[in-house]
């Protein structure tokens, strides 16, 4: 199929024949995924909140309580009382709203357009999930409230845990880890505790060279040494390479399946058998679960420990970098090692906290990123069994369809059938274009950039994950933009982006002369705007 | 059922045809036959329409007792503060909510600048020159601080005050087990850390001394003795502070702490059953390059305009891999943006007023409870926003009975072998609520 098959409102009015054959069912419509029409005015600097501060200006007000108004000197010992309040800012609520609204207009987001960041699963997050997470019965609950007062929360956590176990083919789950990397460390510490309970203390964990950086970092924090397993010429983990590295000293292997090249590890059962035979465990990094929900279960592949990224697969919005949630599910022999407490259902149908017998201990100050769990549960209820399967099927369809439109313009280093994401490269196409320039070129055209320079095994890598929530029209427009950028001369491409709130940012200068706070810019003067002039 | 997949059946058919495939299952030919599931194999319920899901979520939410049904006097690291509409509205803007980590600075100036402003405010609260863009929660900030100290000193142990939040202390034990960091507890005397006992324990010199002020019992635990001992030992001081009490108390930085960490939930984030919360972390100049997680720096773009970008990236796991000192990737950016908005709304005078109101309520309720027969202070040190009392009845029983009276009375707590109840008062609690609490306690704790 050529790129002209879907009509594009930028070049022609919707509904008018394009002159190019439109396949049945792919009637032209404006791609919803482009942010190019966003009203990003002016390209001027936004002042910092500190520059908007005026001595004596206030926003805050406090409720009437009738509590006696003792002075600070009667409440805090003199040597501990700070003589002046900490210098913050002094702004009106109106100025604060305007400042933050202008900042929000300088920010790309899923709600604005397509966000094909590979391995990040930036799908649309249903508003119904947001609304569920804003219910006062959830937001107002203190985490130390006794179970008799928190039955709704416990039931939700129990139900979500059961569903995650069904999806992954696991037996038990902890919802405490607040992010994927936290889930990894939790899982690896359970691996360590399991081996120790059997009188063993192996020192190494195998990781493919295509793995996410968090994997080796987590392995190291868990007290293990990383042994890298090279991918083969097809981009897969070869069972032979795994077997060669197995020994008494290997605690297990961490894999992502599909892997970060977007390829399904087809020898997974053989690898699992070999690792288990050597006394090791298999850890599943759930970063790419969006490819296989309702299609295959990690448990059936032989995995013993699975973490899930609820902020990827289960539509928890990513919040500009977090919060996420990284529950860890395990097979039956590992259940007693889970971080405690976990939720259990009593015989009378009520829910309670339960401490696993050999628990590795808490990994979060409370019960994990609870509101993310509400969103994930709402998402699972909305989609159901068939819906989740359709999510994965469509994510894989979109990725493959996108790939078919990029061939010829980009090199495809590993030609296996793609799953939910594709990795292409500018290297080997005859072009001198850098992956970074492609990313910036896409920004200029109103799309977010793919992940660039990852996985590390591919030079000039572009890792693209369209997700299932982008329409074929949007995927076609994205492909068209990628193809256009690929045809640019490197000197031309290096000028992008020119339509964004700022042009290319000087990263080297940021690292060379560190400016991490406004006080680094303004020195004492930056604070003096407030200090000593407040009226409290 | 609801669906967020836009593809029509005709479109799917057309796309498959374009790929030379007959059915959607053909996309998964590479998955071994034995692993492949059929439709329905998941055995989850069928998908529901949005309104049905809303009904089910409302049922679950209503199964929790909150708000006026269970007036909150519990703290212990999670505090029931008022959150103004403006904080909810601004932090709820979908540009902040639905964006990813700011890897592409040119289209992420909104989040990046908000984080730069957050870092500035956290540094000012801590009295230290630099702060990171957040970690998961107070407990994880504590763990990262201890890991930073072991990396900075090459030592493998930390001496920690028994005044730390006991759950944070557990998280510290769990997450440092891999590297076998030794954690030694230093007891409290009268509610403050007995650092003079620490040397006598005979342990090798630690990487850090760790204490909280206010501590878990609500007491002001002076930093000076810890800083003096740390100087003698060549160790760092890690101070846990409270961002609200910071309106009244001297900063960790001015008192000699090298690392300050805090739970940022009190800054605009509701209780929400314990998460997502916010790990705040600030350091002295010497340790900036050891900060875990993201750091936002101010720089310029090609035309010389002020611009923001994540910086010192080479510290992070995606570049440093197994040599990284932290594995954090996803953090709590949205909660940090929330805290930034809340601090800006409170302002210089507002934060002090907030702290003062919490301290006043704490004194009022504490005096009221101590006037009851059989109620005594658990420890004697001065408190600022939370306090612990001994009651004539077991604290777990008191919590259950007070729940029947409409109060979340506090958290059972233990100090020096005595049991007590830990009670927090925020600016949200009125005199009438506190008077009713004391009356209920008189009935319950008898």
DSSP A243-255: HHH--TTEEEEEE
Residues within 8 A of A (CB atoms), B 341-400 only: 341, 343-354, 356-357, 359-361, 363-364, 382, 384, 399-400
- Beta B130-131 vs B157-161: how paired, if at all? unpaired
Last residue of a domain, one of A369, A388, A423: A369
A130 falls within a domain:
no
Q: Compare B314 and A333 and report the one with higher pLDDT.
A: A333
pLDDT band for position A40 (50/70/90)? Answer: low
Q: Nearest CA of chain A to the CA of B362: how many Å?
A: 9
B23 falls within a domain:
no
Rg, chain A, Cα only: 26
Q: Show the domain range for B406.
A: 67-84+348-444
Q: Is residue B281 domain-shared with residue B353, that is, in the same domain?
A: no
Which range (A22-26, A260-264, B262-266) has the least confidence? Answer: A22-26
Taking an 8 Å cut-off on Cβ atoms, the answer to whether B29 and A136 are in contact is no
Q: Is residue B78 domain-shared with residue B90, that is, in the same domain?
A: no
B5 falls within a domain:
no
Taking an 8 Å cut-off on Cβ atoms, the answer to whether B178 and A369 are in contact is no
Count the domains in chain A: 2
Q: Distance (Å, rounded) from C-alpha B184 to C-alpha A435?
A: 50
Q: Is residue A318 domain-shared with residue A236, that is, in the same domain?
A: yes
Label each residue of A149-202 as H, E or C: HEHHHHHHHHHHHHHHHHHHCCCEEECCCCCHHHHHHHHHHHHHHHHHHCCCCC
Q: What is the CATH number of the domain that holds B393?
A: 3.90.1150.10
Within its chain, how far is the Cα of B172 from the centroid? 14
Q: Is residue A208 domain-shared with residue A282, that is, in the same domain?
A: yes
Q: Is residue A58 domain-shared with residue A198, that is, in the same domain?
A: no
Q: Choosing among A510, A518, A519, which should be mutated to test the B contact, i.e. which has the most B CBs within 10 A?
A: A510
* Chain A CA closest to residue B276: A369
Residue pLDDT, tens place only, A195-220: 999 999 999 999 999 888 899 999 99
Q: Show the domain range for A158.
A: 150-369
A121 falls within a domain:
no
pLDDT band for position A41 (50/70/90)? Answer: low
Q: Of the candidates B58, B250, B347, which has its C-beta nearest A89's C-beta?
A: B347
Sequence-separated (6 or more) residues with CB below 8 Å from residue B381: B190, B191, B192, B217, B219, B220, B221
Q: Distance (Å, rounded) from C-alpha A154 to C-alpha A158?
A: 6
φ/ψ of residue B13, rounded to 5: -60, -45
Taking an 8 Å cut-off on Cβ atoms, the answer to whether A86 and B274 are in contact is no
Q: Nearest CA of chain B to the CA of A133: how many Å?
A: 9
How far is the CA of A380 from the CAs of A123, A258, B48, B251, in angstroms?
15, 21, 9, 45
Q: Is residue B255 domain-shared with residue B355, that is, in the same domain?
A: no
Q: Is residue B264 domain-shared with residue B283, that is, in the same domain?
A: yes
Q: Is residue A103 domain-shared with residue A170, that is, in the same domain?
A: no
B44 falls within a domain:
no
Q: Is A119 helix (H, G, I), strand (E, B) or coil?
A: coil
Q: Is residue A53 domain-shared with residue A184, that is, in the same domain?
A: no
Q: Is residue A196 domain-shared with residue A65, that is, in the same domain?
A: no
Q: Is residue B212 domain-shared with residue B201, that is, in the same domain?
A: yes
Q: Is residue B234 domain-shared with residue B147, that is, in the same domain?
A: yes
Q: Is B164 helix (H, G, I), strand (E, B) or coil?
A: coil
Helices (H), B205-332: 224-233, 317-320
Query: What's B155's DSSP letter?
Result: -
- pLDDT at position A527 is 53
- Beta A172-174 vs B236-241: how paired, if at all? unpaired
Last residue of a domain, one of A320, A349, A369: A369
Q: Distance (Å, rounded) from C-alpha B169 to C-alpha B183?
A: 9
A473 falls within a domain:
no
Q: Is A58 on the interface with B (CB under 8 A)?
A: yes
- Beta B188-189 vs B182-186: how paired, if at all? unpaired
- pLDDT at position B40 is 87
A530 falls within a domain:
yes
Q: Is residue B117 domain-shared with residue B71, that is, in the same domain?
A: no
Residue pLDDT, tens place only, A241-261: 999 999 999 999 999 999 999
Last residue of a domain, one of B306, B341, B376: B341
- pLDDT at position A13 is 38
Residue pLDDT, tens place only, A60-80: 999 999 999 999 999 999 999
pLDDT reading at A19 higher than 70: no
Query: What's B120's DSSP letter?
Result: H
Q: Is residue A175 domain-shared with residue A258, that is, in the same domain?
A: yes
pLDDT reading at A6 higher than 60: no
A394 falls within a domain:
no
Q: Is residue B79 domain-shared with residue B98, that is, in the same domain?
A: no
pLDDT reading at A533 higher than 90: no
A328 falls within a domain:
yes
Last residue of a domain, one of A369, A400, A421: A369
Q: Of the candidates B29, B62, B98, which has its C-beta nearest A152's C-beta?
A: B62
The residue count of chain A comes to 536
Q: Is B222 on the interface with A (CB under 8 A)?
A: yes
- Rounded to an integer, the average pLDDT of A43-54 is 93
Asked whether the ipTM of the predicted complex exceeds the cut of 0.95, the reply is yes
Taking an 8 Å cut-off on Cβ atoms, the answer to whether B96 and A70 are in contact is no
Query: What's B203's DSSP letter?
Result: P
Q: Is residue B161 domain-shared with residue B303, that is, in the same domain?
A: yes
Give exposure, A144-180, as e/b (b: 16+ Cβ within 10 Å). Answer: bbbeebbbbbbbbbbbbbebbbbbbbbebbbbbbbbb
B15 falls within a domain:
no
Q: Distance (Å, rounded) from C-alpha A503 to C-alpha A378?
A: 39
Sequence-separated (6 or more) residues with CB below 8 Å from residue B43: A166, A385
Taking an 8 Å cut-off on Cβ atoms, the answer to whether B117 and A49 are in contact is yes
B165 falls within a domain:
yes
Taking an 8 Å cut-off on Cβ atoms, the answer to whether A135 and B48 are in contact is no
Residues within 8 A of B (CB atoms), A 434-473 only: 439-440, 443, 448-449, 451, 454, 468-472
Name the token pair of A17. 């024949």
Residue pLDDT, tens place only, A138-187: 999 999 999 999 999 999 999 999 999 999 999 999 999 999 999 999 99
The label of the residue with tokens 């002094």 reads A90
Taking an 8 Å cut-off on Cβ atoms, the answer to whether A381 and B345 are in contact is no
B40 falls within a domain:
no
pLDDT band for position A536 (50/70/90)? Answer: low
The answer to whether B163 and B188 have CB atoms below 8 angstroms apart is yes
B249 falls within a domain:
yes
Q: Is residue B273 domain-shared with residue B291, that is, in the same domain?
A: yes
Q: Is A278 helix (H, G, I), strand (E, B) or coil?
A: coil
Which chain A residues are Cβ-neighbours of B407 within 8 angstroms?
none
φ/ψ of residue A315, rounded to 5: 60, 30
Q: Is residue A79 domain-shared with residue A225, that is, in the same domain?
A: no
Max Cα-Cα span within chain A: 82
Q: For residue B151, what is the enclosing H or E element?
A: helix B138-153
- pLDDT at position A42 is 66
Within its chain, how far is the Cα of B303 from the centroid? 39
Give exposure, B234-258, as e/b (b: 16+ Cβ within 10 Å). Answer: ebbbbbbbbbbbbbbbbbbbebbbb
Q: Is residue A244 domain-shared with residue A167, that is, in the same domain?
A: yes
Count the domains in chain B: 2
Q: Is A142 on the interface with B (CB under 8 A)?
A: yes
Q: Distance (Å, rounded) from C-alpha B199 to C-alpha B190?
A: 19
- pLDDT at position A27 is 55
Residue pLDDT, tens place only, A73-125: 999 999 999 999 999 999 999 999 999 999 999 999 999 999 999 999 999 99
Among A388, A365, A380, A307, residue whose Cα is nearest residue A157 = A380
pLDDT band for position A29 (50/70/90)? Answer: low
The answer to whether B118 and A125 have CB atoms below 8 angstroms apart is no
Q: Distance (Å, rounded) from C-alpha B39 to C-alpha B117?
A: 49
A289 falls within a domain:
yes
- pLDDT at position A24 is 46
Last residue of a domain, one of B341, B367, B386: B341
How far is the CA of A536 from the CAs of A56, A430, B102, B228, B384, in angstroms?
9, 67, 38, 34, 19
Q: Is A524 on the interface with B (CB under 8 A)?
A: no
Query: What's A80's DSSP letter?
Result: T
- Rounded to an integer, the average pLDDT of A377-384 is 98
Q: Distance (Å, rounded) from C-alpha B295 to C-alpha A520?
A: 14
A502 falls within a domain:
no
Which residue positions in chain B have pLDDT lower than 70?
A: none
Strand ranges across the sheet with B259-263: B130-131, B279-283, B259-263, B236-241, B208-212, B157-161, B182-186
Q: Is residue B114 domain-shared with residue B228, that is, in the same domain?
A: yes
Q: Is A1 helix (H, G, I), strand (E, B) or coil?
A: coil
* Chain A CA closest to residue B429: A65
Q: Nearest CA of chain B to the CA of A398: how many Å?
A: 9
Q: Distance (Å, rounded) from C-alpha B330 to C-alpha A319?
A: 10
Give exposure, A312-349, as e/b (b: 16+ Cβ within 10 Å). Answer: bbbbbbbbbbbbbbbbbbbbeebbbbbbbbbbbeeeee
B409 falls within a domain:
yes
Q: Is residue A356 domain-shared with residue A215, that is, in the same domain?
A: yes
Last residue of a domain, one of B313, B341, B369: B341
- pLDDT at position A30 is 56
Q: Is residue A96 domain-shared with residue A242, that is, in the same domain?
A: no
Q: Is residue B417 domain-shared with residue B328, that is, in the same domain?
A: no
Q: What is the CATH number of the domain that holds A257?
A: 3.40.640.10
Rg, chain B, Cα only: 25
């Amino acid at each position: 199929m050529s790129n002209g098959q879907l009509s594009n409102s930028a070049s022609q009015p919707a509904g008018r024949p394009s002159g190019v054959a439109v396949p049945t069912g792919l009637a032209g419509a404006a791609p919803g995924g482009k942010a190019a029409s966003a009203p990003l005015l002016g390209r001027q600097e936004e002042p910092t909140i500190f520059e908007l501060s005026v001595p004596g200006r206030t926003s805050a007000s406090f409720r009437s309580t009738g509590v006696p108004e003792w002075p600070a000197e009667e409440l805090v010992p003199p040597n501990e009382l700070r003589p002046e309040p900490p210098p913050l800012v002094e702004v009106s609520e109106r100025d604060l709203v305007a400042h933050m609204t202008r900042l929000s207009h300088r920010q790309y987001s899923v709600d604005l357009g397509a966000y094909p960041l590979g391995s990040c699963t930036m799908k649309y997050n249903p508003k119904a999930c947001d609304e569920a997470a804003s219910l006062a019965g959830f937001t107002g609950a203190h985490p130390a409230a006794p179970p008799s007062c928190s039955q709704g929360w416990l039931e939700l956590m129990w139900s979500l845990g059961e569903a995650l176990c069904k999806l992954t083919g696991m037996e038990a789950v902890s919802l405490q880890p607040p992010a994927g990397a936290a889930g990894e460390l939790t899982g690896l510490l359970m691996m360590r505790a399991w081996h120790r309970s059997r009188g063993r203390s192996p020192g190494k964990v195998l990781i493919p060279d295509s793995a996410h950086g968090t994997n080796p970092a987590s392995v190291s924090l868990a007290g293990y040494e990383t042994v890298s397993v090279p991918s083969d010429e097809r981009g897969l983990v070869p069972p032979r390479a795994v077997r060669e590295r197995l020994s008494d000293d290997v605690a297990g292997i961490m894999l992502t399946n599909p892997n970060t090249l977007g390829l399904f590890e087809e020898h997974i059962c053989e690898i699992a058998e070999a690792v288990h035979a050597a006394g090791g465990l298999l850890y599943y990094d759930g970063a790419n679960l969006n490819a296989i929900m309702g299609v295959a279960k990690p448990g059936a592949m032989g995995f013993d420990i699975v973490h899930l990224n609820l902020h990827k697969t289960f539509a928890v919005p990513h919040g500009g970098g977090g919060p996420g949630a990284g529950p860890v599910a395990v097979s039956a022999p590992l259940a007693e090692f889970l971080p405690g407490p976990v939720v259990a259902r009593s015989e009378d149908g009520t829910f309670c906290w339960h401490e696993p017998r050999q628990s590795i201990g808490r990994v979060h100050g409370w019960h994990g990123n609870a509101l993310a769990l509400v969103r994930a549960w709402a998402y699972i209820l909305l989609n159901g069994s068939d819906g989740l399967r359709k999510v994965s099927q469509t994510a894989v369809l979109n990725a493959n369809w996108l790939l078919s439109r990029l061939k010829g313009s980009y090199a495809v280093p590993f030609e296996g059938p793609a799953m939910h994401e594709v990795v292409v490269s500018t290297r080997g196409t005859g072009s001198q274009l850098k992956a970074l320039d492609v990313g910036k070129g896409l920004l200029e055209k109103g799309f977010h950039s793919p992940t660039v320079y990852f996985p590390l095994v591919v030079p000039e890598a572009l890792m693209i994950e369209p997700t299932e929530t982008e329409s074929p029209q949007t995927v076609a427009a994205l492909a068209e933009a990628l193809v256009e950028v690929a045809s640019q001369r490197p000197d031309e491409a290096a000028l992008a982006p020119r339509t964004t709130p700022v042009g290319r940012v000087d990263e080297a200068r940021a690292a060379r002369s560190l400016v991490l706070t406004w006080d680094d810019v303004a020195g004492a003067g930056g604070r003096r705007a407030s200090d000593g002039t407040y009226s409290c | 059922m609801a669906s967020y997949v836009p593809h029509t059946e005709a479109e799917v058919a057309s796309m498959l045809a374009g790929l030379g495939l007959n059915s959607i299952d053909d996309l998964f030919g590479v998955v071994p036959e034995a692993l492949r599931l059929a439709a329905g194999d998941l055995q989850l319920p069928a998908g529901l329409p949005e309104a049905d899901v809303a009904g089910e979520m409302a049922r679950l939410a209503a199964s929790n007792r909150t708000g006026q049904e269970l007036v909150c006097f519990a703290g212990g690291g999670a505090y029931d503060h008022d959150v103004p509409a403006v904080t909810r509205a601004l932090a709820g803007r979908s540009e902040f909510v639905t964006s990813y980590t700011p890897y592409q600075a040119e289209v992420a100036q909104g989040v990046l600048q908000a984080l730069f402003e957050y870092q500035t405010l956290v540094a000012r609260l801590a009295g230290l020159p630099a702060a990171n863009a957040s970690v998961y929660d107070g407990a994880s900030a504590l763990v990262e601080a201890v890991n930073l100290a072991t990396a900075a000193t090459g030592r493998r142990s930390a001496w920690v005050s028994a005044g730390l939040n006991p759950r944070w202390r557990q998280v510290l034990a769990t997450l440092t087990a891999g590297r076998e960091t030794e954690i030694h507890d230093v007891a409290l005397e009268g509610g403050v850390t007995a650092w003079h006992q620490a040397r006598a324990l005979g342990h090798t010199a630690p990487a850090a001394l760790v204490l909280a002020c206010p501590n878990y019992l609500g007491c002001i635990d002076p930093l000076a003795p810890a800083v003096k001992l740390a100087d003698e030992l060549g160790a760092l001081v890690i101070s846990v502070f409270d961002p609200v009490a910071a309106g009244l108390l001297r900063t960790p930085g001015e008192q000699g702490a090298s690392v300050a960490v805090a739970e940022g939930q009190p800054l605009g984030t509701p209780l929400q059953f314990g998460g997502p919360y916010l790990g705040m972390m600030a350091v002295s100049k010497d340790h900036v390059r050891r900060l875990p997680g993201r750091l936002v720096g101010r720089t310029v773009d090609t035309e010389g305009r002020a611009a923001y970008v994540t910086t010192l990236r080479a510290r992070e796991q995606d570049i440093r891999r197994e040599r990284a000192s932290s594995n954090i990737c996803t953090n709590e950016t949205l909660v940090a943006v929330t805290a930034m908005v809340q601090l800006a709304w409170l302002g210089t005078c507002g934060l002090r007023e907030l702290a003062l109101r919490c301290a006043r309520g704490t004194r009022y309720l504490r005096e009221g409870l101590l006037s009851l027969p059989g109620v005594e202070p658990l420890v004697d040190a001065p408190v600022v926003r939370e306090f612990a009392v001994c009651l004539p009845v077991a604290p777990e029983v008191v919590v259950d009975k007070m729940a029947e009276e409409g109060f979340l009375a506090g958290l059972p707590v233990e100090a020096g072998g005595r049991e007590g109840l830990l009670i927090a008062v925020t600016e949200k609690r009125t005199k009438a609520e506190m008077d009713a609490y004391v009356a209920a306690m008189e009935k319950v704790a008898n």
